[in-house]
Chains A and B, each alone.
Chain A
Amino acid sequence: MSGLVLGIETSCDETGVGLVRIDGNGRVTLLANEIASSVDEHARFGGVVPEVASRAHLQAMVPTVRRAMATAGVRPRDIDAVAVTAGPGLAGALLVGVAAAKAYAAAWDVPLYGVNHLTAHVAVDTVQHGPLPPALALLVSGGHSNLLDVPDLAGRITSIGATIDDAAGEAFDKVARLLGLPFPGGPHIDRMARDGDNAAIAFPRGLTGPRDAPFDFSFSGLKTAVARYVEALERVGRPIPVADVAASFQEAVVDVLTAKAVRAARERGMDTLLLGGGVAANSRLRALAQERCAAAGLALRVPRPALCTDNGAMVAALGAHLLAAGAKPSDLDLPCECVTAF
Chain B
Amino acid sequence: MLVLAVDTATPAVTAGVVELPPDPAGPARTRAERVAHDARRHGELLMPSVLDACAEADVRLRNLDAIVVGTGPGPFTGLRVGMVTALALADALDVPVHGVCSLDAIAADAAATACGRFLVVTDARRREVYWAAYDEQARRQDGPHVEAPAALVERLSAPAAVAAAGGSAALTGLAVLEPASPSPRGLVTVAAAAVRAGASGAPPQPLYLRRPDAVESRSRKRVSTP
Contact = CB atoms under 8 A, between A and B. Distances in A.
Interface of A: 44-47, 49, 51-52, 54-55, 57-58, 61-62, 65-66, 76, 91-92, 95-96, 98-100, 102-104, 106-109, 174, 177-178, 180, 223-224, 227-228, 231, 331-336
B213 A51 contact: yes
Contact of B84 (A103, A109, A174, A180): A103
B143 interface: no
B127 to A, nearest CB: 19
Nearest to B90: A62
A109 B221 CA distance: 51
B46 interface: yes
B81 A95 contact: yes
24 contacts: A49-B214, A51-B212, A51-B213, A55-B80, A55-B208, A57-B84, A61-B84, A62-B88, A65-B91, A91-B77, A92-B76, A95-B77, A96-B81, A103-B89, A104-B88, A104-B91, A106-B47, A106-B89, A107-B88, A180-B220, A331-B48, A332-B48, A333-B48, A335-B44
B87 A335 contact: no
B88 A65 contact: yes
Given A51-B213, A92-B80, A332-B51, 19 more contacts: A51-B212, A52-B212, A54-B76, A55-B76, A61-B84, A62-B203, A65-B91, A76-B92, A95-B81, A99-B88, A100-B85, A103-B85, A106-B89, A109-B61, A177-B220, A180-B220, A227-B222, A228-B223, A333-B48
A231 B223 CA distance: 9
Main secondary structure of the interface of B (DSSP, over half): helix
Contacts of A228: 223-224
B88 A227 contact: no
B215 interface: yes
Contacts of B44: 333-335
A99 B217 contact: no
Contacts of B88: 61-62, 65, 99-100, 103-104, 107
Interface of B: 41, 43-48, 50-51, 61-62, 76-77, 80-81, 83-89, 91-93, 203, 206, 208, 212-217, 220-224, 226
A106 B91 contact: no
Q: Which 5 A-B pairs have the closest CB atoms?
A: A107-B92, A227-B223, A46-B217, A51-B212, A103-B88
